[in-house]
Structure 1
Amino acid sequence: MFDMLIKNGTVVFPDKVQTTNIGIKNGKITAIGDEFVSGANRIIDASGQYVFPGMIDVHVHFSDPGRDYWEGFRTGSQMMAAGGVTTFFDMPLNGIPSTINKEALYLKSDRGQAESYTDFALWGGLVPGNEADLAELAEEGVIGFKAFLSTTGNKEFENVDDVTLLNGMKIIAGLNKVLALHSESGPITDWLAARKIEAGQVSADDYLETRPIAAEAEAVQRALYYAEVTGCPLHFVHISSYEAIEKIEAAKKKGMNVTVETCPHYLLFNHDALSEFGPVAKCAPPLRKQEEQEKLIKLLIEQKFDMISSDHSPCTSDLKDSAVYNIFQAWGGISGGQFSFLSMLELALKYEIPFEQIAKITALNPAERFGLKAKGRIAEGYDADFVLVSTDESYTVREENFFAKNKISLYIGHTFPCKINSTINRGKLIFNDGGIQADGPEGEWIKPIQQIEIKS
C-alpha cells in the first residue's frame, strides 16, 4: 500500500523519458514501473503530463528575518512551490542580521523551519572580519559560503577585499565547502558609476555601461587565480557573458573544481527590457544586449552552464519606482523565483533542448554539487520531489497568480507555452491546480552530506 501513486506520467529520468508509474511511501520513491496501477491512499493520474524531479534553486534572497516585508520564508516558499521548486538555498544577505555567524544562522533556520512550505538549505557569508566564524558555520550545516567582489550597498554584508578573499578561500577549502561568488570588479563598476552620476547620466544605457562584461570577466579570472593558489572550490553565480564562461571553461579543462550558474532572465530578456520597463528590469550584472543574450542561449544548448538559478531578489514597490528614482538609485534585483522552471521549459521547447538536460541543470547537478544525497533525480530511494507540467497549456503571469509578497516582476504579462499543474515535496502535495494545498509549512532544513565536483 503506497501513500501516493502517480500513474501514467511521462517521467523525466536522468537518461530517458518514459511513461510509467511511481509509488511513494514515507516521503520516498519506493517503486517505479508499469506492474502496479492501484493500491494507494492517494492516486494522481498524470496522463498527458511530464513528471520532472522538483527543481533545486540554489540562489534565492528571502529577507527573513528582519526584512520579511520584502519577502519571507512563508510567501517565498509558497512562490517556489507554485514554480515547481521543492528545495531552495537562501542567501546570507538582505536579512537582518546577515548569516555570518552561528547565532545568525539559527535565527534564520528557526524562521525557515517554522514558515517554509518546501525544503531549504542556507548559505553562510564570507565578509571582512568573520573568517573565524567559517568553521563553526560549516559545522552547523551551511550549504556553502557566499562573497561579493563588487560593492554590495549593504552595510550588514560588505564585499571582500583581496586579503579576506584569499584567507577565506584557504579556510573554505580546508572545510571541504564551496565558495559562491558574485563576480564583478568593484573598482571598475564603482569608478564607472561615479563618473556617470557626477555627469548626471542616469539612463538605462548609462547603467549598462557602468557594469561592462570586462568587469565580470576580470573578477572571474582573478577569483580563478586565487582558487588555484588556495585550492578552494568555486561556484560562480548569475554569470551573464560569454567571455566569463570562456575563462571558467578553461579552468575546468585544467581540472579545477568550479561550477557556474546563469539565471533565466539573462536568457529570456535583454537590455531592451531595462530601457522599456525601467527599474523592474534592473539587476547586477545587468541584462545584456541581444547579441550577448543569443550567445548565452547557445551556451545553454551546449551545456556550458552547470545549473540554473533564479537569483530571486525582491523588494518593496518604492524601491522600484521609476518616477522617483534614477536607475542608479533603484533596487537592483529581479523578482522571479516562481518562473525559473517554466522559463527553462520555454527554452527547451523553442530550441529543442532534451528534457533530460533540463532535469539535469535544474535538479541533478545542484543536488550533486552541494551534497543533497536524497534529491535531484527520480529513482527508488530518493525523496519524492516532483513537478508535474503540461506542455499543451499556456500560462500568463499576472499579479493574482504571482505568489511573491510584493507583486513586482519583469515576468508579469509574460506568457509561457507550458503550465505547472502540481508540485510534490517528499510525497506531500503542496501546490495543485493554481493554489497551495498543504495544510501548513512542513519544509525541512536540508544539510549537505558531501559536496562533489560536477564533471563537464
Structure 2
Amino acid sequence: MTELDLVVRARRVLTEGGESARCVGVAGGRVVAVEPYDSALTAPRSVVLTDDEVLLPGLVDTHVHVNEPGRTEWEGFASATRAAAAGGVTTIVDMPLNSVPPTVDTGALSVKRAAAGRQCHVDVGFWGGAVPGNTPRLRALHDAGVYGFKCFLVHSGVDEFPHLSADGLEEALAELRSFDGLMIVHAEDPVVIDEAPDPRGTHYDRFLASRPRAAEDVAIAQVIELARRTGARAHVLHLSSSDALPMIASARRDGVRITVETCPHYLTFTAEDVPDGATQYKCCPPIREAANREALWDGLAAGVIDCVVSDHSPCVPELKRPDTGDFGEAWGGISSLQLGLSAVWTEASARGFTLADVTRWMAERPAEIAGVRGKGRIAAGFDADFCVFAPDAVQVIDPAALHHRNPVTPYAGAALSGAVRGTWLRGAPIDPARPRGRLLTRLGATAESPGGGQEDM
C-alpha cells in the first residue's frame, strides 16, 4: 500500500457503489483507497466527519462565464473560483465569450490562461469558441487543450462572438468530427425570436413570450439533424424547454451522439412567481412555467437530461437595470455558482431524489461529457477533490455573504436545504487566501501549475 498523506472517515460517503460508511485514503493528491469505515488505514492527517455530514466528490461545473480579461468588473478568476469553492465546486470549465478577446483562436486562449494565472482557487479548464470564419482554427485550439467548442445559433449578447448559421454549424460539426471534438450549442432559433413579441417592459410574461419554447425546439431539432448528418458529438446547453425532451430521447435511440444539460434556476424557479421588474431572474433561454419545470425534473429522472450546471453569467449590477426593471433592456444571466448544490438539493430532495442522483448530475456526468479526467468521483485514481455537505442544514441566502464579484441573485432571501462545510482540492482544504488551483487541459496536453512548472494532466 502506498504511504498515505490523509485518511477521511465518514458515515456517509458517495462513491461509485452508492452511499455508505467509508474510509478514504489519499496520497499525492489522489484517492488511492476506498475501504470500509473501520479499516486500519492510517496517515499523518486524519479527518472524521460528523454524523450529519456527507462526503461528496467535488462538483464539476462545466458552464461558467468568468469574463476575465476584458470584462473583469463583471467577474474574474479570483472571485469566481472563491465562489465555486464555497459552493463545493472544485473544477470549472470557462466559457469562451464575454471575455475580451473571446477564445476563438490559440492566441486568445493564451491570453485567457495568462489572465487566470495563479489566482484560481479551484481547477480551471477552458472551452474554445466556434464563430463564423474560424473553422480552420478549431483543430489548433483542440490541440492546445480546450475541452470542446461553444457556438450560438442566435445573437450571443456580445458582438465580438457572432452566431453560426445552419451552414456554418454543419461546417464546424464536420470539422469536429474529423478529430472527435465536442460542440456545445446555445440552441435558440433567431427567426422564431425575431417573430416573437417585443420583450420590453416590467412584466415577466412579456419577456417569456419573447423567447418561446419553439425557439429552443426548432434549434434543437436542427442540432440533432446536423449531428446525425455529420456524426459529430453535440451537447445542448441550458435546456429550458421541456417540449424538446421527446425528440432528444428519440435521437439518442437512433444513435445520434447528443447530450443535454439544464441549470439550477430552471429546476427551482417558475415564471408564475417572478415579480414585476425583478430582472435578477432574467436569463436566456428563460425560466418557464411550473408545469415545464416539473417536466424537466421528469427528464432528469428518465436520464434524457444528463447533468445540471450553473450557467453562471454575471454582470455589473447596473446592467440588470434595477432603475427601470425593464426585462428587455436588462442583461440576461444568473449568478449561481456558489448556490447550485443547495438549490438543486432543495428541490431534488422534495421530489424523492437522493444525494447519489445529485452527485451524478453535478459531478460525475459533467466531467464525463466534457472529458475532464480524474474528476467527479471518489474512486481510486481520481483527484482527492471533496465537498463536505450537511444536507439537513438550512441556510437563508444573504447576497452580501456570496463570493461572486457582483452578488446580484434571484436566490436572495431564499431558504435552501443543505450547506457546504468544507471543500478540498487534491487532498487539502481550499484556503481562500491561498489560491492553488491548476489550469487544466484535455488528455495529453499540459498546463501551467500554480508553481510555474508544466504538469501532465
| Bin of the TM-score, shorter chain as denominator length | over 0.9
Deviation, 1:208, is 0.6
C-alpha distance in structure 2 between counterparts of 1:115 and 1:328, whole Å: 35
Task: Work out whether 1:55 is the aligned partner of 2:55.
Answer: no
Structure 2 letter corresponding to 1:188:
V
Query: Which residue number in structure 1 is paired with residue 454 of structure 2?
Result: none
Task: Map 1:184-333 onto structure 2 (within 5 A).
Answer: 184-193=188-197, 196=198, 203-276=203-276, 278-324=278-324, 326-333=326-333
Deviation, 1:373, is 2.6
Query: Which residue number in structure 2 is paired with residue 433 of structure 1?
Result: none
Deviation, 1:18, is 0.7
Task: Map 1:381-396 onto structure 2 (within 5 A).
Answer: 381-396=381-396
Say which of 78, 87, 93 aligns to 2:82. 78
Listed one character per residue, the Cα deviations across residues 379-433 of structure 1 (whole Å, up to 9, x for unaligned) are 1111001111112311111123211010100111111121111111111201xxx
Query: Which residue number in structure 2 is paired with residue 177 of structure 1?
Result: 181
Listed one character per residue, the Cα deviations across residues 339-374 of structure 1 (whole Å, up to 9, x for unaligned) are 111122212321121322222111111222222231
* 1:410/1:325 CA distance change after superposition, 3 Å: closer
Deviation, 1:245, is 1.5
Query: Which residue number in structure 2 is paired with residue 434 of structure 1?
Result: none
Structure 1, gaps ≥5 residues long: 431-436, 451-456
Query: Which residue number in structure 1 is paired with residue 425 of structure 2?
Result: 425
Structure 1 letter corresponding to 2:304:
K
C-alpha distance in structure 1 between counterparts of 2:407 and 2:432, whole Å: 22
C-alpha distance in structure 1 between counterparts of 2:139 and 2:173, whole Å: 12
Structure with more helix by fraction: 1
Query: Which residue number in structure 2 is paired with residue 453 of structure 1?
Result: none
Two-structure CA RMSD over aligned residues (Å): 1.7
More moved, 75-84 vs 421-430: 421-430
Deviation, 1:75, is 0.3
Deviation, 1:37, is 5.7
Structure 2 letter corresponding to 1:92:
P
Structure 2, gaps ≥5 residues long: 445-457
C-alpha distance in structure 2 between counterparts of 1:11 and 1:316, whole Å: 39
Structure 1 letter corresponding to 2:48:
D
Task: Report % sequence identity.
Answer: 32
Listed one character per residue, the Cα deviations across residues 223-273 of structure 1 (whole Å, up to 9, x for unaligned) are 111111111100001001221121111111101111000001001101134
C-alpha distance in structure 1 between counterparts of 2:386 and 2:266, whole Å: 26
Contact 1:10–1:47 (8 Å) recurs in 2? no
Query: Which residue number in structure 1 is paired with residue 49 of structure 2?
Result: 46
* 1:201/1:314 CA distance change after superposition, 3 Å: closer
Say which of 414, 425, 441 aligns to 2:435. 441
Task: Map 1:81-92 onto structure 2 (within 5 A).
Answer: 81-92=85-96
SS state at 1:391 partner: strand
Say which of 123, 127, 130 aligns to 2:127. 123
Task: Map 1:407-422 onto structure 2 (within 5 A).
Answer: 407-422=407-422
C-alpha distance in structure 2 between counterparts of 1:283 and 1:344, whole Å: 18
Contact 2:202–2:277 (8 Å) recurs in 1? no
C-alpha distance in structure 2 between counterparts of 1:26 and 1:53, whole Å: 17
C-alpha distance in structure 2 between counterparts of 1:153 and 1:25, whole Å: 45
Say which of 114, 134, 140 aligns to 1:136. 140
C-alpha distance in structure 1 between counterparts of 2:260 and 2:349, whole Å: 23
TM-score (norm 1): 0.93
C-alpha distance in structure 2 between counterparts of 1:4 and 1:396, whole Å: 33
SS state at 1:369 partner: helix
C-alpha distance in structure 2 between counterparts of 1:378 and 1:392, whole Å: 22
Structure 2 letter corresponding to 1:4:
L
C-alpha distance in structure 2 between counterparts of 1:138 and 1:263, whole Å: 26
Listed one character per residue, the Cα deviations across residues 182-234 of structure 1 (whole Å, up to 9, x for unaligned) are 011111112325xx26xx76632111111111111000001111111111100
Query: Which residue number in structure 2 is paired with residue 17 of structure 1?
Result: 19
Count of residue pairs brought into register by the alignment: 440
Structure 2 letter corresponding to 1:382:
F
